[in-house]
Amino acid sequence: MLHSLSLSALLISTQVLASPYSRPNSDPLPLLIWHGLGDNYAADGLAEVASLAEEVNPGTYTYIIRLDEDVSSDRTATFLGNVTEQIASVCAAIHADPILSSAPGVNALGFSQGGQFLRGLVERCGGENGIKVRNLVTFGSQHNGIAKYQLCKPTDWLCKGYIGLLKANTWGAWVQGHLVPAQYFKATDEETGEPTEEYLLNSNFMADINNERALKNVTYAQNLAQLDNFVMYVFENDTTVVPKETGWFAYTNLTSGDVVELRDREIYKEDWIGLKKLDKKGGLHFKTTKGEHMTLGEKVLKDVFSEWFVPPTESWKKVVEDVVQEIIEL
């Protein structure tokens, strides 16, 4: 019994390996990286991440997402811009890239706000003829929005001016259309735990991408549920992102500190964005890593690359090896 089962598995796997359409065994899927606030696509840190990806999965084509080829403008776009338009421009850039658009799928790694923007990309730009993200990994992202804006250093007047503008007019159309963090700010009534009317009415990005309004976009849920894996890392001692549990789509009562986990929330129970479906097939993963916001060590990145971004054919190679081993043992 075991023998015949193994043999058919061997046949299937050799067929897959011999298929003229399959890529070379060693070819990993391309990797998209979306950086965080204040960073730029040409930063040394990102190049290091890309070279780690190459080290773990040789041959990885890494595309570091940019909103402008000019480095300084790319950085500015992390603060200034309409996130809806930014995601649409990234979608177009990926479609225009011959490698990214012809690959059978891509993996995606999002740092901080880049994580929820990549998720937005999957929801809006995925699907049948869209970008096929297989595994999405986010670090310290703000999937349930932020309840507070970041603190500025005491002498950083530019930051203070910017945050002042954000705070003073978060729900104004100009701010929602131009200042990036306002578009994932989420105001909640601490008494009821429900989002405020102002947020539901005016949020340019978060309320839409989380399908929090009465009218749900079913495409978002379908597209997100099509991921193989969605891996969400929260930094254990993150004090930059308030509350840090937003990285897992959790709701935190800031007065009491009580946390309502995603699985106990409506967004999951009614499956507004496909997370429940993804969870039921084993594709939703809640992870913790040590340290403050974005203290990323080499080890955690290497673990991510070897656990989630290994080439799919590798697993077939392993199946074949295991089967051959079994047959030898019989």
Q: Quick check: 76 binds ligand NAG (CB under 6 A)? A: no
Q: Quick check: 198 binds ligand NAG (CB under 6 A)? A: no
Q: Quick check: 211 binds ligand NAG (CB under 6 A)? A: no
Binding marks (x or -) toward ligand NAG, 90..129, rule CB under 6 A? ----------------------------------x-----
**Sole binder of ligand NAG in the list 105, 177, 228, 242 (CB under 6 A):** 177
* Burial class of residue 69 (count of CB atoms within 10 Å of its CB; 0-12, 13-18, 19+): exposed
Please indicate whether residue 203 is annotated as part of the active site.
no
Please indicate whether residue 306 is annotated as part of the active site.
no
Find the Cα–Cα–Cα–Cα dihedral 273, 31, 139, 64, rounded to 10°. Answer: -110
- Chain position carrying tokens 């080890």: 299
Report how far residue 14's alpha carbon sits from residue 16's, in angstroms, rounded to the nearest whole number.
Answer: 5
Q: Quick check: 89 binds ligand NAG (CB under 6 A)? A: no
Q: Which is nearer to ligand NAG, 223 or 313 (CB)?
A: 223
Q: Of the residues 6, 112, 141, 203, which is catalytic? A: 112
**Sole binder of ligand NAG in the list 253, 302, 307, 312 (CB under 6 A):** 253
Q: Quick check: 204 binds ligand NAG (CB under 6 A)? A: yes
Q: Of the residues 39, 74, 208, 238, which is catalytic? A: 238
Task: Name the minimum Å distance from CB 94 to ligand NAG.
Answer: 14
Q: Quick check: 191 binds ligand NAG (CB under 6 A)? A: yes
Edge-to-edge order in the sheet of strand 229-235:
62-64, 31-34, 106-111, 133-139, 229-235, 284-289
Task: Name the minimum Å distance from CB 246 to ligand NAG.
Answer: 15
Contact between residue 139 and residue 49 where contact means Cβ atoms under 8 Å apart: no
To 5 degrees, how large is the angle CA 304–CA 306–CA 310?
Answer: 115
Residue nearest to ligand NAG (CB): 177
Task: Name the minimum Å distance from CB 32 to ligand NAG.
Answer: 18
Contact between residue 235 and residue 289 where contact means Cβ atoms under 8 Å apart: yes
Report how far residue 214's alpha carbon sits from residue 200's, in angstroms, rounded to the nearest whole number.
Answer: 9
Q: Quick check: 293 binds ligand NAG (CB under 6 A)? A: no
Got the DSSP string for 12-57?
HHHHHHH-TTSPPTT-PPPEEEE--TT--TT-HHHHHHHHHHHHHS
Q: Quick check: 219 binds ligand NAG (CB under 6 A)? A: yes
The candidate with the shortest Cα–Cα distance to 144, out of 104, 115, 166, is 115
C-alpha to C-alpha distances, 90 to 33, 223, 224, nearest whole angstrom: 11, 17, 17
Report how far residue 55's alpha carbon sits from residue 49's, in angstroms, rounded to the nearest whole number.
Answer: 10
**Sole binder of ligand NAG in the list 70, 190, 264, 266 (CB under 6 A):** 190
To 5 degrees, how large is the angle CA 182–CA 78–CA 33?
Answer: 120
**Sole binder of ligand NAG in the list 89, 169, 196, 217 (CB under 6 A):** 217
**Sole binder of ligand NAG in the list 21, 256, 328, 330 (CB under 6 A):** 256
**Crossing angle for the helix pair 44-56 and 298-308, to the nearest 10 degrees:** 50
Task: Name the minimum Å distance from CB 104 to ligand NAG.
Answer: 22
Please indicate whether residue 112 is annotated as part of the active site.
yes
Q: Which is nearer to ligand NAG, 173 or 324 (CB)?
A: 173
Binding site for ligand NAG (CB under 6 A): 82, 84-85, 124, 173, 176-177, 190-193, 204, 217, 219, 236-237, 253, 255-256
Q: List active site positions.
A: 112, 238, 293
